[in-house]
Structure 1
C-alpha cells in the first residue's frame, strides 16, 4: 500500500505578511519598496532638466542659461524628482519630524535611479560625501539627514562614505528661504576639507536632500576640486523648480 505524503502546510492568507504603501496605506506588491505602483507613478518625476544642474526645463537635452554663463564647480546633478507634492512633504517629515521611514523609502528609490544612470553611462564615483551640518544644528535636530541618505545609498550602491573628509566650521543661518546672493554670503569660509591628501584624484559625489540654488553644493565642489579631486557630482532627492515655475 503506497503511503500518501502529507501536503505542505499552507499559511492562511490572513497570516501572510502584508506590506503597505507608505503614501496611501493600501497593500502593495512592490518587490522591493513600501510603495504601490500607482503612488510611485504619481511622484513628481523630474522630466526634462538642465544636463548640469538638473533645473527643470521645458525640453530635454538642454543646459540652462545660468550654467552656460557660469558653469558650476560640480560636473552633474542627479535627482529623480522635482521638489513638489508629495515628495516635498515626505522630505519635510523625514528632515524636520524625524520620520525616517520616509527618508529611507526615498533614499532607496534614489539608489535605483542612480543604478539605472550608471547603466546608461553615468560615471560611478569612488566615494560619497554627505553635506555636513553645523554641530549645533545637528544636535538640535538629532541627526544629519544627508548623512543618513548617504548611508542608505552606500549600502545599495556599494560605494563607501568617509565620515570625516568634510566639516562645517561656521554655524551659518539656515539657507531655506534666502535668495542666491545671501546664500553665497552665508557660505563663505563655512566649510573645510579635512582630508586633502585622500581626495586627490578621486571622483566624488556629494549627497543632500534638496538642491535649490546649488550654492552649498557649488562651494563644497569647489573646495574638493581645489584639494585635488578629479570630479564632483551631486546626488539629491529633489530639485526645486525655477522661480515662478
Structure 2
C-alpha cells in the first residue's frame, strides 16, 4: 500500500522524460513510450515490417537512419530505458502465438558480446530458453557477403538435446538485426536437427534490400 502511494506521488512530482532522448515526454501513450519527436524521427511503420524470406520474420523498422544509430548505441551502452521502449513497441505491433517459446541467438564473442537478443527476448514477456549454443567462433559477419556468411556459419550452432529440454513446437528466434538471414538460418538448422520447430524470427530492425545486395 505504501509503495503504491509512493509511486503515485513520484508520478505527480517528477516530470516524465522520454526514454530515448531524455526530453520532455509529450505522448498520450504510457510514459515508457518514446516522445512524439523521437517516434517521428525513427519513422517506424505502424504495423511494423514482415516477410517470409529467408524465413518468416517480423521487425520494428528498417535498419537505417535514426533507428540504426540508436541500435548501435544500445549495443555499446547500457541504455536500458531506450531498449525497454523499443521492445514495448515491438510487442505492441506483433502478437506472438500463445505457444511461442523465444530463443535468443547467442553471440560468438566471449568478450564484448552482443547482449541485445537476450534482453529483447526477456522484455517480450514470453517463455524464454537458451536452447542454442555456439560451437565455435567465426569471422565477423559485418564485412562478408551473403555466400561468405553462409559458409562462415556452417556448424556454428548446437541445440540442446531433447532429453534435456524436450521439443518445443513453436520456437521464435530473437535477434536485434536481420541482414541476409544467414545467422538465423544456421540457428534454425541446428534447432530443427534437435527436433524443435522454428516458426520464425522477431527482431528490432531489418536491413534494407539495397544494403543486403551489397
Which band: TM-score by shorter chain?
0.7 to 0.9
Question: 1: CA distance between counterparts of 2:107 and 2:24?
Answer: 36
Q: Which has the larger radius of gyration?
A: 1
**Which residue does 2:152 correspond to in 1?**
186
1:109 alignment partner, one of 68, 79, 89: 89
Q: Label 1:84 to 1:125 Cα distance change in 2 as closer, same or farther (>3 A).
A: farther
2:129 counterpart of 1:153? no
2:51 counterpart of 1:51? yes
- The normalised TM-score by structure 2 is 0.81
Q: Residues 101-180 of structure 1: matches in 2 within 5 Å?
A: 101-115=81-95, 118=96, 123-134=97-108, 137-138=109-110, 140-141=111-112, 144-154=115-125, 159-163=126-130, 165-180=131-146
Q: Label 1:213 to 1:223 Cα distance change in 2 as closer, same or farther (>3 A).
A: same
Question: 1: CA distance between counterparts of 2:91 and 2:15?
Answer: 24
Q: Label 1:31 to 1:98 Cα distance change in 2 as closer, same or farther (>3 A).
A: closer
Q: Residues 225-244 of structure 1: matches in 2 within 5 Å?
A: 225-243=192-210
3-state DSSP class of the match of 1:141? coil
CA contact 1:128–1:150 (8 Å) conserved in 2: yes
CA contact 2:32–2:81 (8 Å) conserved in 1: no
Deviations 1:191-234 (A, max 9, x none): 10013343535101001000000000011112222222233310
**Which residue does 1:31 correspond to in 2?**
30
Q: Label 1:170 to 1:90 Cα distance change in 2 as closer, same or farther (>3 A).
A: same
The count of corresponding residues between Structure 1 and Structure 2 is 201
CA contact 2:48–2:61 (8 Å) conserved in 1: no
Deviations 1:131-178 (A, max 9, x none): 0112xx24x226622111111112xxxx21113x11011111111122
Gaps of 5+ in 1: 1-10, 54-71
Question: 2: CA distance between counterparts of 1:221 and 1:86?
Answer: 30
Gaps of 5+ in 2: 1-7
Moved more, 228-237 or 22-31: 22-31
Q: Residues 62-73 of structure 1: matches in 2 within 5 Å?
A: 72=54
**Which residue does 1:78 correspond to in 2?**
58
CA contact 1:44–1:83 (8 Å) conserved in 2: no
**Which residue does 2:16 correspond to in 1?**
19
Question: 2: CA distance between counterparts of 1:233 and 1:176?
Answer: 22
